[in-house]
Amino acid sequence: MASMPLRVIPLGGLGAIGKNMMVLEYGDDIVVIDCGVMFPGEDMPGVDLVIPDISYLVERSHKVRAILITHGHEDHTGALPYVLPRLNVPVFAPRLAHGLISVKLKDHGLHKSTDLRAIEPGVPISLGPFETEAFRVCHSIPDAMGLAIRTPVGLVVHTGDFKIDHTPVDGKTTDLASLARYGAEGVLLLLSDSTYAELEGYTPSERVVGEALDRVIAGAPGRVLVATFASLIARIQQTIEAAARHGRKVAVVGRSMVDNVAMATEMGYIKAPPGVLVSLQKAMKLPQNEVVLVTTGSQGEPTSALVRIASGTHRQIEVFPDDTVIISATAIPGNEKVVYRTIDNLMRQGARVLYDKIALVHVHGHSSREELKIMLNLTKPKFFVPVHGEYRGLAAHASLARDMGVQKDNAFILEDGDVLELTSTGGQVTEQVSAGHIYVDGLSTMDTKSVVLRDRKLLSQDGIVVIVLSFDKASGAPLSEPAVVSSGFVEHQQAEELFGKVAAHIYDSLDHGSHYPLDWSYVNAKVKEIAGELLYKGTGRRPMIIPVTLEV
């Protein structure tokens, strides 16, 4: 029996608490669930990726038994190349995720040093005191799993990202029977996906999208372009099936889409009738009403195929007035503007564009409230921790769990770094550990408090003015009027006169006697003050001002 508490620690999720990494710790053993990236927001200029802060794990690396991956999406797998060099532990992943991770590790030269293993639903894995098995869930990528982890304190069920689709494209439904079995066995803790916990009702089945795609393709006068996520294998499969039914060929456009379709076909996740998948070259020679193109660009990514097609800069594909374009995706928050700009550009060239606001051409991969209730009802957990959601989603989910019978004090809304200690009778948050986000920019990383990011935001507001002063090394006397250069501040013609004035004022204000050594901090402060005032008076703008002083 348990002599110690089970520790539950979300590490990093950018608002979506614990989405990218969740830690279970018992005594000298740790398992990590997922290892994902977040994509930088507009408030992180120049940042390439955001990864979880794993210092807690690195300090205890001897305790970490494994990283368990629930499915192959980037927000659950993408940090592996950054984490594994610091924490070389076995990685367990469902088959498709295993394939995707292999490619990623090869790109980073980590495939030889990594112990990557495929897991199958129902096959137990022993990790120290953690007896783990995966169970199938439906999500917007095949081979998504939840995890049932037997610990000395009790059974923990982690749903992963899930919805309850009774008619998924691959026929593999969320494994309600296993969930019922866990419920009968007694679930100590349920960690459940809260992404859409505010949404009433049920998330529609993938099947309704298949039917919509079929109708649109059947009735389209010319070519059909379907833009979706490269990982939305089921959507691609549905498109291929609908195209085949209506005598059309399918060509795949965009590098990540081509790669994913090739990989998924090879692994058996995409099944195309013979001859239906053709090259783009071949498709370009067919009559337009015999063609479906599947492309990237559903998020308005600037370099994607669809965006280049829409802006008339794609090398091979242009828009024709009889084209039908289906945006089979929802704009991820922050991407709305670029997605809509793409739609507008396609329409301007005469294409008919169908998107989620006006047609049922997309459903998402997360449970709405009725599905969350089913999960709670089947597992009947003693303790509940909502995961994968922003705070209001977690709060809505916790409140739902209480309505469904979880005791008020047994539902915990955690923040990243909170340590929840559970025994079989009670739980409490006992401490906070280092957690949160690390920004990857080029070859190095920064934390969220970095002055570099703060400066980038300042620079983008009113630009920068650099003022270079030269002084005589021996006497300390100024050698000439300062040189003033700028970027992002004002137009060139406006700058010239203004900078002349600034240079003259600063030069006049300097002590022209010989006062070596100069008080540099005084000179710098004075230069900033004079320049700041003159520039603001002349333009109403407040650029960053950097004085540079040379002794020659």
Alpha-helical (H) ranges within 380-491 are: 391-403, 451-462
**Vertex 88: Cα angle to 32 and 256 (nearest 5):** 80
Could you tell me which residues are beta bridge partners of residue 146? Answer: 135
Site string for a second copy, 345-384 (x = CB under 8 A): --xx----x---xx--------------------------
Q: In angstroms, rounded to a whole number, what is the distance separating the alpha carbons of residues 546 and 246?
A: 65
Residue 123, C-beta contacts closer than 8 angstroms, at least 6 positions apart: 133, 134
User: Residue from 303, 377, 428, 487 that binds a second copy (CB under 8 A)?
Assistant: 487
Q: Angle, to 10 degrees, between the axis of helix 206-219 and the axis of helix 233-245?
A: 40
Residues 450-479 binding a second copy (CB under 8 A) are 450-453, 455-464, 466, 468, 470, 479
Q: Which of 377, 439, 432, 515 is nearest to 44 (CA)?
A: 439
Structure tokens at 222: 């010319």
8 Å CB contact between 439 and 449:
no
Selected range binding a second copy among 104-112, 151-159, 220-228, 538-546, rule: CB under 8 A: 538-546
Quick check: 550 binds a second copy (CB under 8 A)?
Answer: yes
**Vertex 208: Cα angle to 207 and 211 (nearest 5):** 90
Site string for a second copy, 73-102 (x = CB under 8 A): ------------------------------
Q: What are phi and psi of 429, to 5 degrees?
A: -80, 115
User: Residue from 259, 340, 433, 532 that binds a second copy (CB under 8 A)?
Assistant: 340
User: Residue from 444, 474, 513, 517 that binds a second copy (CB under 8 A)?
Assistant: 444
Rounded to the nearest whole angstrom, what is the least distance from the CB of residue 529 to a second copy in the complex?
Answer: 19
Q: Which of 151, 157, 156, 154 is nearest to 129 (CA)?
A: 151
Rounded to the nearest whole angstrom, what is the least distance from the CB of residue 257 to a second copy in the complex?
Answer: 24
Selected range binding a second copy among 41-49, 83-91, 98-106, 207-215, rule: CB under 8 A: 41-49
Q: Which is nearer to a second copy, 237 or 345 (CB)?
A: 345
User: Residue from 267, 284, 395, 404 that binds a second copy (CB under 8 A)?
Assistant: 395
Residue 512: Cβ within 10 Å count: 11
Quick check: 201 binds a second copy (CB under 8 A)?
Answer: no
Structure tokens at 186: 């007694």
Q: Which of 266, 272, 268, 264 is nearest to 292 (CA)?
A: 272
Q: Which is nearer to a second copy, 185 or 455 (CB)?
A: 455
Q: Which is nearer to a second copy, 281 or 493 (CB)?
A: 493
Cis peptide preceding 168, ω within 30 of 0: no
Rounded to the nearest whole angstrom, what is the least distance from the CB of residue 491 to a second copy in the complex?
Answer: 6
Q: Which is nearer to a second copy, 336 or 511 (CB)?
A: 336
Rounded to the nearest whole angstrom, what is the least distance from the CB of residue 547 to a second copy in the complex?
Answer: 9
Could you tell me which residues are beta bridge partners of residue 144? Answer: 137
Site string for a second copy, 269-298 (x = CB under 8 A): ------------------------------
8 Å CB contact between 322 and 291:
no
8 Å CB contact between 390 and 15:
yes
Rg over alpha carbons for the chain, rounded to the nearest Å, is 29
Residue 137, C-beta contacts closer than 8 angstroms, at least 6 positions apart: 144, 145, 146, 159, 160, 161, 162, 163, 174, 175
Structure tokens at 216: 């649109």
Selected range binding a second copy among 170-178, 225-233, 308-316, 328-336, rule: CB under 8 A: 328-336
Q: In angstroms, rounded to a whole number, what is the distance separating the alpha carbons of residues 136 and 147?
A: 9
User: Residue from 97, 234, 307, 396 that binds a second copy (CB under 8 A)?
Assistant: 396
Rounded to the nearest whole angstrom, what is the least distance from the CB of residue 495 to a second copy in the complex?
Answer: 10
Buried b (16+ CB within 10 A) or exposed e, 254-274: beebbebbebbbebebbebee
Q: Which is nearer to a second copy, 128 or 222 (CB)?
A: 222
Rounded to the nearest whole angstrom, what is the least distance from the CB of residue 188 to a second copy in the complex?
Answer: 26
Q: In angstroms, rounded to a whole number, what is the distance separating the alpha carbons of residues 337 and 343?
A: 10
Q: Which is nearer to a second copy, 74 or 198 (CB)?
A: 198
Quick check: 491 binds a second copy (CB under 8 A)?
Answer: yes
Residues 159-198 binding a second copy (CB under 8 A) are 198
Q: Which is nearer to a second copy, 516 or 536 (CB)?
A: 536
Residue 444: Cβ within 10 Å count: 7
Rounded to the nearest whole angstrom, what is the least distance from the CB of residue 192 to a second copy in the complex?
Answer: 19
Q: What number of chain residues touch a second copy (CB under 8 A)?
A: 67
User: Residue from 108, 255, 337, 515 that binds a second copy (CB under 8 A)?
Assistant: 337
Q: In angstroms, rounded to a whole number, what is the distance separating the alpha carbons of residues 369 and 375?
A: 10
Give residues in contact with a second copy (CB under 8 A).
Answer: 15, 41-42, 45-46, 198, 333-334, 336-337, 340-341, 343-344, 347-348, 353, 357-358, 390-392, 395-396, 441-444, 446, 450-453, 455-464, 466, 468, 470, 479-480, 483, 485, 487-492, 494, 536, 538-541, 544, 546, 548, 550, 552
